[in-house]
Amino acid sequence: MKLTAFLGILFLIQPLFSAQISLHDLMTNSPITHESATGLKDFRVVIPGILYRGGNTGGGPYPLKEAGLKTLCDKGFSQAVYMYPDNFSNAPKPPCNLEYTTFGGGIKDRQLIRKYLTQVKSVIDGQKKGPLYIHCWNGWHASGEMAAYALMQFCGLNGDQAQSYWDANVPNGRVTRMKTFKTFDDLQITPEQQSKICPR
């Protein structure tokens, strides 16, 4: 790879891996948590360098298109998860080694949530090189719920905090499952890992 091309890629991914955000910014849906990204709607940080969320291009029940997948490849993402099963069989193939999967049939299914959190942990532990992008259609409801669960599991948010995060980041609707979600004991991370990655 030519040096100029490498530096171009480095410039793209650097803000993702170096930007630290405060818990206040995260909880209040501050503009500092958002970034413009081609082919991705309402792209924003959840856990810097680890987890990001958003939507497709806002066109309804569809997975990402080629432009969104290319953006994730260019930014160094290792995985992407579409929170619904709709039309996933028609999803284009990523133009890199990005693992693009569907969450499955039910965002209330505890075992599917566990599988997703295991994917997040694989990035935290360094098993996957590059962050995970979770998305629904608009980047609000389902991706917001799964982001809240990751913040509870790995960054110690309680149910009320997670609910406040969801409420602040969703322009309409009401889901209250975050208040009663129980984290998984076998997916805990160390205090040292928390201090390195979690908004504070």
Give me the pLDDT at residue 97, please: 94
Give the tens place of pLDDT for each residue, 55-110: 998 778 999 999 999 999 999 999 999 999 989 999 999 999 999 999 887 778 89
User: What 3-state class would DSSP assign to 148?
Assistant: helix
Residue type (1 letter), 17: F
Report the number of secondary-structure helices (H) and strands (E) in the chain: 7, 5
Give me the pLDDT at residue 58, please: 73
- Give 6's pLDDT tier (boundaries 50, 70, 90): very low
Give me the pLDDT at residue 106, please: 72
Q: Give me the DSSP letters along 95-134.
A: SSS-EEEE--S-TT-HHHHHHHHHHHHHHHTTSSSS-EEE
Instruction: Using the structure block, give the residue that is written with the tokens 């959190």.
Output: 117
Give the tens place of pLDDT for each residue, 147-178: 999 999 999 999 999 999 998 888 776 788 88
Give the tens place of pLDDT for each residue, 16-27: 444 578 999 999
Question: Is the model's pLDDT at 127 over the cut of 90?
Answer: yes
**Average pLDDT, integer, range 29-50:** 94
Question: Is the model's pLDDT at 15 over the cut of 70?
Answer: no
Q: Is 6 exposed, middle or buried (0-12, 13-18, 19+ CB in 10 A)?
A: exposed
Domains of the chain: 3-197 (3.90.190.10)
Residue 82, phi then psi, degrees to nearest 5 = -90, 125
Please report, in angstroms and rounded to a whole number, the separation of the first and last CA atoms in the chain.
Answer: 37
The CB-side HSE value for 174 (13 A sphere, CA atoms) comes to: 0
Instruction: Read off the pTM.
Output: 0.89
3-state helix, strand, coil in the chain (%, to 5): 45, 15, 40
Give me the pLDDT at residue 19, please: 59
